[in-house]
Amino acid sequence: MSPESRAGVVSQQLPRELAAELLALARAHGADFAEVYGEHTTLTTFVFEESRLKSSELRVVQGLGVRAIRGSETGYAYADGFDPDDLREAARVASRIARDGAAGSRPVAFHAVDAAPPFTLREPAASALDEDEVEQLIG
């Protein structure tokens, strides 16, 4: 499928009015910029073994990402598929992420500490066992 055909699939799934609504939702909490990114990708895989077709797979990946930027904060959310309610929720989530991390909010303090490991591996398992070793393990 050509890039033009894929763009046609996305534009059929995402009417201009819905795209405008998603941008408005993404900017609802004060974002300076918002964008939507539609994706429709068809992946085909063939596995050959000893000159014979062993397996094949056809996958379609489609969805929409919404990004909202407020100051130096960026919110991003992705929805699999093109269900309008899912797309609206992705726009709201991106907007909230950009808002909640916006300038003026207090950064969360953290620090790294040296902690004891939760366990010590004393006798690593062998990557391969011979028949005698398997017999000993299973008794």
pTM of the model: 0.60
Segment 55-100, tens digit of pLDDT: 988 888 899 999 999 988 899 999 998 999 999 999 999 999 999 8
Q: How far is CA 88 from CA 2, 24, 28, 36, 112, in A?
A: 28, 10, 12, 11, 38
Domain that holds residue 8: 3-100
CATH of the domain at 47: 3.30.2290.10
| 74 in any annotated domain | yes
pLDDT confidence of residue 43? 87
Q: Residues with Cβ < 8 Å from 92, sequence gap 6 or more?
A: 25, 28
Count of structural domains, the chain:
1
- Average the pLDDT over 115-126 and give the result: 68
